[in-house]
Amino acid sequence: MIILIQYFTQYNKTHMYQTYDVTELLNNGKNAFGALLGEGWWSGNATYRGYNWNYFGDRQSLLAKLKLTFEDGSTKIVTTNSDQWKYFNDGPIEYSSFFQGEYYNAMKEKNIEGWNQVGYNDEFWKPAVEVNLNNKNAYIDKELNYDDLKIIGQIGENAKIVKTLTAQSMEEVRSGVFVYDMGQNMVGFPEINLSGEAGDTITLRYAEMKYPNLDEYKGNVGMIMMENIRGALATDKWILKGATSELIRPRFTFHGYRYIEITGIEKPVPIESVKGKVISSINELASSYNTSNKLVNKLWQNITWSFRGNFLSIPTDTPARNERMGWNGDINVFAKTATYLGHVDLFLRRHLIANRDLQESSGTGFQILHQ
């Protein structure tokens, strides 16, 4: 399986494709070539405006090609097309969103023909259809067109898992409300091993801070604070299938958080079973800094963690709340610093291409992508 986060470009102008070597994923005998699709930046809720949905379209699609080269030098090409491909749209992932989180019903895993452990069977799948590029399915009706669309190879590295954190502590802040501290404000998603009865619903909520012990927060002290992330639900729900051990690992969302609240369980999950997968477009730092002053060293750590967390596909202004659209005010101030911290040349070039694609034909100003 290959996991990727599609980089956010101005899709009607520039769309980037990724290339992978899948040799090690092939098995002797029959193989299946498929994909799971999520909203990403293409569709779903976008920006702090609650009515901004489906900027580019209201459904996802896949354009892919597999090239096989045999030992004798001959080749075979397998492509996505509406004649041979099928799709299934009632799987366990019932909803997914960068801002709102993911709802996963593991009970449905038993009903997915073609995605089981004993073999592949797409008998009950539907024929794939072509999704046309037009304005009818997009939020923007007048300004969006694909007449000048260019599909190019990706510029820069994929966003990927760069670190794995383990929860440092847990507190039962209310009866049945368990809050885990990852020890670090991170950007990514959880990986949690637990067990329960079939049909049990596990709810995960994420926050950067908890209510402090102050008079104005009386009654909420110790609970996670959600107000500062505004309209983002930042909530994952997982319906268990009743296995001895189940792995909660959302696929199509990410959260900015230090604290994760888990409810729907009778007893706390051991802290060693609560992991955090840190994702970023910055695989490693290009510089280091160390002094005899602990506070200065901590400042450096804070800067680099913020750098890592806000360089995810695009330079965001926050990875937590309901607005992660690449606000240029922040990166305008931070760009020079970023060039010292990491190898960001291609990352910034890609973002500048998106900015150029948004410019008016006269070269002055930017198109407004909301009504």
Q: Does the residue 349 lie in any domain?
A: yes
Q: Does the residue 224 lie in any domain?
A: yes
Give the rounded distance of the alpha carbon of 303 from its chain centre. 22
Sequence-distant (≥ 6) Cβ neighbours of residue 8 within 8 angstroms: 40, 41, 313, 314, 326, 354
Sequence-distant (≥ 6) Cβ neighbours of residue 212 within 8 angstroms: 221
pLDDT in tens, the chain (371 residues): 555 556 788 888 999 999 999 999 888 888 888 888 998 888 888 777 777 788 888 888 899 999 999 999 999 999 999 999 999 888 899 999 988 999 999 998 865 555 554 456 787 889 999 887 765 666 655 567 788 899 999 998 888 999 999 999 999 999 999 999 999 999 999 999 999 999 999 999 999 999 999 999 998 999 999 988 888 899 999 999 998 899 999 999 999 999 999 999 999 999 999 999 999 999 999 999 999 999 999 999 999 999 999 999 999 888 898 888 777 888 999 999 999 999 999 999 999 998 888 887 777 665 544 43
Q: Does the residue 104 lie in any domain?
A: no
Alpha carbons 89 and 361: distance in angstroms, whole number: 40
What is the count of structural domains for the chain? Answer: 2
Out of 248, 280, 312, a domain closes at 280
Alpha carbons 193 and 303: distance in angstroms, whole number: 31
Tell me, yes or no, whether 174 and 244 share the same domain: yes
Alpha carbons 341 and 326: distance in angstroms, whole number: 19
pTM of this structure: 0.90
Tell me, yes or no, whether 302 and 253 share the same domain: no
Q: Does the residue 12 lie in any domain?
A: no
- Tokens 């809720």 belong to 45
Residue 22, SS3?
coil
Residue-range definition of the domain harbouring residue 299: 294-358
The predicted structure's pLDDT at residue 137: 65
Tell me, yes or no, whether 244 and 347 share the same domain: no
The predicted structure's pLDDT at residue 31: 85
CATH code, domain carrying 275: 2.60.120.260
The predicted structure's pLDDT at residue 142: 54
The predicted structure's pLDDT at residue 257: 96
Out of 225, 249, 280, a domain closes at 280
The predicted structure's pLDDT at residue 368: 47
Alpha carbons 128 and 236: distance in angstroms, whole number: 29
Tell me, yes or no, whether 236 and 177 share the same domain: yes
The predicted structure's pLDDT at residue 365: 60
Tell me, yes or no, whether 258 and 179 share the same domain: yes
The tally of CA atoms less than 13 A away on the side-chain side of residue 174 is: 11
Would you say 71 and 205 are in contact if contact means Cβ atoms under 8 Å apart? no
Q: Does the residue 195 lie in any domain?
A: yes
The predicted structure's pLDDT at residue 358: 84
The values of phi and psi at residue 256, to 5°, are: -100, 115
Would you say 184 and 305 are in contact if contact means Cβ atoms under 8 Å apart? yes
